[in-house]
């Protein structure tokens, strides 16, 4: 199979943002630690799925710089409206690691009581909205959140994530058009990882880039190297600051690559060339940032090994703690459905309680 058109190419020089201007060594170290931690979590959670201990997982591997770098640009009161691979930001914004593990297992420790697909985290305290698996439908909601904040004179920004495939949906058009007309304080962050499950970018759009689509809606679009964490952070900061100041939306196209399958249920070898994957592995965003830190003299192999060992220990401890929890209470199926239970729900719940009492 031939590689998809443009799959191994770098970002378009005409659309690329300028390099980092304010990203110091401290920022880079923080970015690197967060990226390593999510890589370690990915590895462990995929192992759990292969062992049958969880049913499903959506890995971020290869896209850490795009996800983590963009999230670092947000303030505590800003909102994150995710697509699929932004779970690291829920943890970044305060969600305990145990909650992330429990949500994938779906037992009594899961705040969502096992009623949401794995990796579909929700963290209201951190203004991280639960994702939907319907591609693109989060975008009008993100613009709605942004407009509501503006009407309330609340100076927050919404970071709306999407993949390259989402730009082919009607919801993308509706969201971008509305945001452009009303200058909504929203940043559309597109992780162009070249594959919408098994459909290559060349089958998604005939546009030269995804970023160029912003012109039709009257706002700025920029394509960046999504595997350069510093560039991602700096570009995202500029877009967030512009939106907060009333300058309207920005569409950021982060040119990156999904190294593994779309999810743990996917076999990417059936539709893409392994040579393409190997070429992108040479641009691994985690290794790329590690090499940069070492060249700056602020990192070394010993620190790196210690960081990875500590991160792995935390993940394994969280897994042990969460796996010890029982299944969700059966009665949770009736909770959070309506403000007040209907007569039918009350009757069904009473029937369930009688059934469980008779069969301990």
Instruction: State how far the Cα of 228 lies from the Cα of 206, in Å rounded to an integer.
Output: 26
Instruction: State how far the Cα of 114 lies from the Cα of 97, in Å rounded to an integer.
Output: 17
∠ Cα 72 78 84 (to 5°): 65
Residue 305, burial from CB neighbour count under 10 angstroms (0-12, 13-18, 19+): exposed
The catalytic residue among 39, 85, 258, 283 is 258
Backbone φ and ψ of 224, nearest 5°: -130, 165
Closest CA to 34 of 278, 319, 314: 314
Query: Is 271 designated active site?
Result: yes
Instruction: State how far the Cα of 54 lies from the Cα of 58, in Å rounded to an integer.
Output: 12
CB 15 within 8 A of CB 220: no
The catalytic residue among 237, 262, 272, 283 is 262
Torsion sign, CA atoms 123, 128, 130, 131: negative
CB 217 within 8 A of CB 180: yes
Enumerate the H helices of 152-228 as residue ranges. 170-182, 201-204
The pair of structure tokens assigned to 191 is 């992780």
Instruction: State how far the Cα of 236 lies from the Cα of 255, in Å rounded to an integer.
Output: 14
Instruction: State how far the Cα of 188 lies from the Cα of 167, in Å rounded to an integer.
Output: 11
Query: Is 262 designated active site?
Result: yes
The catalytic residue among 93, 111, 173, 271 is 271
The pair of structure tokens assigned to 310 is 């500590």
Measured from the Cβ of residue 277, the count of other Cβ atoms closer than 10 Å reads: 18
Enumerate the H helices of 51-169 as residue ranges. 64-71, 87-92, 97-105, 138-151
Instruction: State how far the Cα of 211 lies from the Cα of 155, in Å rounded to an integer.
Output: 26
What is the DSSP pairing of strand 195-196 with strand 199-200?
Answer: antiparallel
Active centre residues (catalytic): 258, 262, 271
């Amino acid at each position: 199979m031939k590689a998809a058109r443009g799959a191994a190419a770098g970002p378009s020089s005409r659309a690329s943002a300028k390099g980092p201007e304010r990203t110091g060594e401290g920022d880079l170290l923080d970015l690197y630690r967060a990226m390593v931690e999510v890589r370690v979590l990915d590895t462990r959670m995929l192992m759990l799925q292969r062992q049958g201990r969880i049913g499903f997982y959506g890995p971020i591997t290869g896209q850490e710089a795009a996800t983590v770098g963009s999230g670092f640009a947000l303030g505590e009161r800003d909102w994150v409206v995710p697509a699929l691979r932004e779970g690291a930001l829920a943890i970044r914004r305060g969600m305990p690691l145990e909650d992330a593990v429990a949500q994938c297992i779906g037992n009594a420790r899961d705040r969502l009581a096992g009623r949401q697909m794995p990796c579909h985290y929700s963290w209201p305290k951190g203004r991280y909205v639960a994702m939907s698996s319907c591609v693109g439908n989060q975008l009008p909601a993100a613009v709605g959140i942004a407009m509501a904040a503006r009407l309330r004179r609340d100076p927050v920004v919404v970071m709306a994530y999407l993949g390259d495939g989402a730009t082919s949906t009607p919801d993308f058009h509706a969201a971008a058009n509305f945001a452009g007309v009303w200058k909504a304080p929203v940043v559309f962050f597109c992780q162009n990882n070249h594959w919408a499950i098994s459909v290559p970018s060349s089958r998604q759009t005939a546009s030269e880039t995804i970023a160029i689509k912003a012109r039709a809606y009257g706002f700025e679009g920029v394509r960046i190297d999504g595997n350069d964490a510093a560039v991602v952070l700096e570009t995202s900061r500029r877009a967030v600051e512009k939106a907060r100041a009333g300058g309207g939306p920005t569409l950021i196209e982060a040119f990156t690559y999904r190294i593994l399958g779309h999810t743990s249920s996917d076999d990417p070898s059936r539709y893409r060339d392994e040579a393409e994957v190997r070429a992108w592995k040479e641009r691994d965003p985690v290794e790329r940032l590690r090499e940069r830190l070492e060249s700056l003299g602020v990192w070394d192999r010993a620190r790196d090994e210690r960081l990875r060992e500590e991160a792995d220990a935390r993940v394994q401890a969280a897994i042990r703690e969460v796996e010890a929890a029982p299944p969700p209470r059966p009665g949770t199926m009736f909770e959070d459905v309506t403000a007040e239970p209907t007569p039918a729900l009350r009757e069904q719940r009473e029937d369930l309680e009688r059934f469980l009492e008779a069969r301990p």
